[in-house]
Amino acid sequence: MKKGLILIALMLAGCVNVDPDTGKTIPRGDQKYEFATVERRADGLKDGMTKIEVLMLLGSPAETSDDGDVWVYLPERPAVLAPSRALRLVFKENVLASHGYCAIVLGKVL
C-alpha cells in the first residue's frame, strides 16, 4: 500500500510543469497566468465585457473552442485523482455572455 501511495505521489508531481530558472509553476496550454491569479482577477468579470477586456483582465486562456467563443482557464495540476474546478467563459458575438466555474473530474472539464 505504501509503495502505491509513493507511486501516485510521483505521478502527480510529474503533472505540473515548473520553470527551472525561476521555480514558478507554468500554466497549462496557452494560459498566461497561474490559476490562482485568474481566480483573483475573475472577481472583476462582468457579462457584457468584450474579448479584449477579458484578455486584459485574465490574460489568455488555456483552451478555446474551435470557433473561439468558449474559453477555459485551468489549474496547473490536472484533476486526475482529486476533483478540481476550471473557469469557463462563453462569448456571443465577441461579448461575454456567461461565466462561472465548472468541475474537473478525472481530467475532464464537465
d(CA 105, CA 91): 24
| Residue 36, φ and ψ in degrees, nearest 5 | -60, -40
**Residue 85, domain CATH:** 3.30.1450.10
d(CA 105, CA 63): 17
Cα–Cα distances (Å) from 42 to 4, 39, 53, 70, 105, in that order, read 38, 5, 12, 16, 22
- pLDDT tens digits, 35-81: 999 999 999 999 999 999 999 999 999 999 999 999 999 988 765 56
Q: Is the pLDDT of residue 10 over 70?
A: no
d(CA 26, CA 44): 23
74 in a structural domain: yes
Instruction: State the DSSP code for 26.
Output: P
Q: Is the pLDDT of residue 9 over 90?
A: no
Domain coverage including residue 75: 27-109
Work out how many domains the chain is built from and give that number.
1
What is the amino acid identity at position 55? L
68 in a structural domain: yes
12 in a structural domain: no
32 in a structural domain: yes
Estimate the share of the chain in helix, then strand, then coil, as percent rounded to the nearest 5.
25, 30, 45
Binned at pLDDT 50, 70 and 90, residue 8 comes out as very low
